[in-house]
Amino acid sequence: MTRNDRGDRLGKELQQPDRLRQVDQALAKLREIVWQGLEHGFFECTVLGEIIQDQKRRLVIKAGKSFQFVIAADELGRNDRS
């Protein structure tokens, strides 16, 4: 069974690949930006964080383009840090 077959059989919400938590996506994007910058040689990156409604965190990474992530408070479990 392919991924698309699974999504068709189980419902529309599963048609996308398994979602990573927003915090994991944000950290992966930040790592990618730093690596690309190091390979290129010169780069500038700004990371902004703030608390928004319902104790969620908004993380904005600016590096040429802007990438925004909204991270739920329950994604910030202390046991998950590497």
pLDDT at 6: 44
Is pTM beyond 0.85? Reply is: no
pLDDT at 10: 45
In this prediction, residue 18 has a pLDDT band, given cuts at 50, 70 and 90, of low
Q: What residue ranges do the domains of the chain occupy?
A: 20-76
As a whole number of angstroms, the distance between CA 59 and CA 23 comes to 9
Over residues 37-66, mean pLDDT: 94
Distances (CA, A) of 66 to 9, 47, 48: 36, 10, 11
pLDDT at 24: 93
Query: Among 8-12, 32-36, 44-48, which is the least confidently predicted range?
Result: 8-12
